[in-house]
């Protein structure tokens, strides 16, 4: 069950890689694949690593602006022009996970590992980091296609390999901000789900050694949400919004935290109304996000409204109407609740 919970939380934001895009101009499709890509590094403002413009732009679109639709377009260019970059494949895998496209998830998990293998000779930190990520994504595929009963033993074996590669990357360069971002997320998710574990070390690592800060703070907000420390979660999600005020997914996270705080305080109407405002801010940009994500945001927003006015809205059928809609992306306008 631990592996199942960890995968479900980690992948949609990796989906980090659910929780990993930056300014870069798109290169025309006709550019020769033999041309070396520009540096493009969303993690290291100093001494950047050559990751690639298209991958960097996709990263920024997805995680800074919450524009998954634009991110996918950049990633399609990265597949043509930056074929040895494992981060691009990891983000494609995360999009596949969000779309419940398990065949594509398997393909991009394998491509993540293959590209990471090629990096080992020149950059063992990133090579190990994305070999671990590739195994993690393969674990996600196993759990989702084989189920908990038969898939968990295999997925736990994958998790062991993931941690071995992350540890080796840390041995190579413990200060690397990209490593500390991904490893910080992983450590937090394990700490939140393991009894007697202390998440403070992982939080400290994200806060002091990870970059970009808006993703590091987002991981901390997620951890405090899951720990039930909602005031701390609000503090960090507001830091994220200060840096990424146009990201609809961050407003969704804030709405979740506010709704949980309302429940903790005997369904306090103030916090419910604040949550409603943030659900609306998120859904206002529904056309930028995957359709299945929008369906879930709408469902939680509907439930929150029922708590505000003691309503009896049938939230399930309205959510399912969005889930069953055509196209990969959320509707430009969600139904009126």
Among 230, 225, 248, smallest CA distance to 301 is for: 248
pLDDT tens for 104-122 read 999 999 999 999 999 999 9
d(C-alpha 106, C-alpha 126), whole Å: 21
Domain ranges for the chain, please list them. Answer: 2-27+36-211, 247-337
Give the model's pLDDT for residue 163. Answer: 94
The residue assigned the tokens 């968990």 is 152
Question: Would you give per-residue pLDDT tens digits along the chain (337 residues)?
Answer: 444 344 434 333 333 333 332 222 222 222 222 233 345 899 998 889 999 999 999 999 999 999 999 999 999 999 999 999 999 999 999 999 999 999 999 999 999 999 999 999 999 999 999 999 999 999 999 999 999 899 999 999 999 999 999 999 999 999 999 999 999 999 998 888 777 778 998 999 999 999 999 999 999 999 999 999 999 999 999 999 999 999 999 999 999 999 999 999 999 999 999 999 999 999 999 999 999 999 999 999 999 999 999 999 999 999 999 999 888 899 988 888 8
| Cβ-based neighbour number of residue 145 at 10 Å | 13
Among 161, 216, 153, 183, smallest CA distance to 2 is for: 153
Give the model's pLDDT for residue 3. Answer: 43
Give the model's pLDDT for residue 82. Answer: 96
Give the model's pLDDT for residue 39. Answer: 59
Task: Locate all alpha helices (DSSP H) within 31-123, ordered by sequence.
Answer: 53-59, 68-81, 86-98, 102-119
Residues 6+ away with beta carbon under 8 Å from 230: 224, 257, 258, 260, 261, 264
Do the Cβ atoms of 332 and 286 come closer than 8 Å? yes
């Amino acid at each position: 069950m631990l592996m199942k919970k960890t995968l479900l939380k980690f992948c949609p934001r990796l989906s980090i890689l659910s929780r990993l895009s930056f300014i870069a101009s798109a290169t025309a499709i006709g550019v020769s694949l033999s041309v070396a890509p520009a540096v493009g590094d969303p993690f290291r403002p100093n001494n950047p690593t050559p990751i690639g413009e298209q991958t960097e732009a996709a990263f920024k679109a997805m995680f800074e602006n919450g524009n998954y639709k634009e991110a996918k377009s950049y990633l399609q260019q990265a597949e043509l022009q930056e074929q040895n970059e494992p981060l691009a494949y990891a983000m494609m895998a995360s999009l596949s996970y969000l779309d419940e496209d398990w065949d594509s998830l398997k393909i991009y998990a394998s491509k993540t590992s293959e590209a990471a293998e090629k990096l080992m000779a020149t950059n063992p930190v990133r090579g190990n980091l994305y070999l671990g990520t590739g195994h993690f994504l393969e674990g996600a595929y196993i759990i989702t296609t084989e189920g908990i009963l038969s898939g968990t033993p295999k997925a736990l074996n994958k998790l062991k390999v993931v941690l071995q590669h992350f540890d080796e990357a840390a041995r190579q360069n413990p200060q690397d901000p990209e490593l500390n971002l991904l490893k910080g997320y992983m450590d937090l998710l394990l700490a939140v789900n393991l009894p007697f574990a202390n998440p403070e070390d992982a939080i400290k690592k994200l806060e002091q050694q990870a970059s970009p800060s808006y993703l590091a703070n987002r991981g901390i907000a997620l951890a405090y949400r899951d720990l039930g420390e909602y005031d701390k979660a609000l503090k960090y999600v507001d830091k994220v919004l200060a840096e990424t005020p146009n990201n609809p997914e961050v407003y969704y996270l804030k709405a979740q935290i506010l709704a949980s705080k309302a429940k903790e305080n005997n369904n306090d109407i103030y916090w419910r109304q604040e949550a409603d405002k943030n659900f609306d801010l998120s859904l206002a940009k529904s056309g930028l996000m995957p359709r299945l994500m929008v369906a879930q945001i709408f469902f939680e927003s509907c439930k929150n409204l029922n708590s505000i006015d003691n309503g009896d809205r049938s939230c399930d059928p309205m959510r399912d109407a969005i889930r069953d809609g055509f196209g990969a992306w959320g509707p430009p306008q969600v139904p009126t609740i």
